[in-house]
Amino acid sequence: MLKLSYNGLDQVHSLAQCGFSARPACVGTRRRRSGIAGFRSPGVRAFPVVAVVSDKDGAVASRVETEAGTLADRLRLGSLTEDGLSYKEKFIVRSYEVGINKTATVETIANLLQVFDFDLFVQLGDLEVGCNHAQSVGYSTDGFATTPTMRKLRLIWVTARMHIEIYKYPAWSDVVEIETWCQGEGRVGTRRDFIMKDFATDQVIGRATSKWVMMNQDTRRLQKVSDDVREEVLVYCPREPRLAIPEEDSNCLKKIPKLEDPAEYSKVGLVPRRADLDMNQHVNNVAYIGWVLESMPQEIIDSHELQSITLDYRRECGQHDVVDSLTGVEMIQGDAEAVPELKATNGSAISKDAKQQFLHLLRLSTNGLEINRGRTEWRKKAPR
Per the annotation, the verdict on 182 as an active-site residue is no
Tell how far CA 381 is from the center of its chain: 23
**Is the distance from CB of 325 to CB of 180 less than 8 angstroms?**
no
Backbone angles phi, psi at 275, to 5 degrees: -70, -15
CA separation for the pair 136, 156 (Å, rounded): 18
Q: 327 Cβ partners below 8 Å, 6+ apart? A: 259, 263, 264, 265, 266, 292, 295, 296, 297, 358, 359, 360
Per the annotation, the verdict on 237 as an active-site residue is no
CA separation for the pair 34, 54 (Å, rounded): 32
CA separation for the pair 53, 33 (Å, rounded): 28
CA separation for the pair 223, 343 (Å, rounded): 40
* Among 199, 296, 179, 184, CA closest to 4: 199
CA separation for the pair 107, 1 (Å, rounded): 20
Catalytic residue among 282, 304, 360, 372: 282
Task: Tally Cβ neighbours within 10 Å of residue 179.
Answer: 19
Q: Is 330 exposed, middle or buried (0-12, 13-18, 19+ CB in 10 A)?
A: middle
CA separation for the pair 289, 374 (Å, rounded): 9
Q: Which amino acid is at 200?
A: A
Q: Is 363 helix (H, G, I), strand (E, B) or coil?
A: strand
Per the annotation, the verdict on 282 as an active-site residue is yes
Catalytic residue among 284, 317, 360, 372: 317
Q: Which amino acid is at 275?
A: A
DSSP 133: H
* Pairing, β 204-216 against β 175-185: unpaired
Backbone angles phi, psi at 269, to 5 degrees: 75, 30
CA separation for the pair 149, 231 (Å, rounded): 10
- Quote the crossing angle between the two packed helices 106-113 and 285-294, to the nearest 10°: 160
Q: Which residues are known catalytic residues?
A: 280, 282, 317
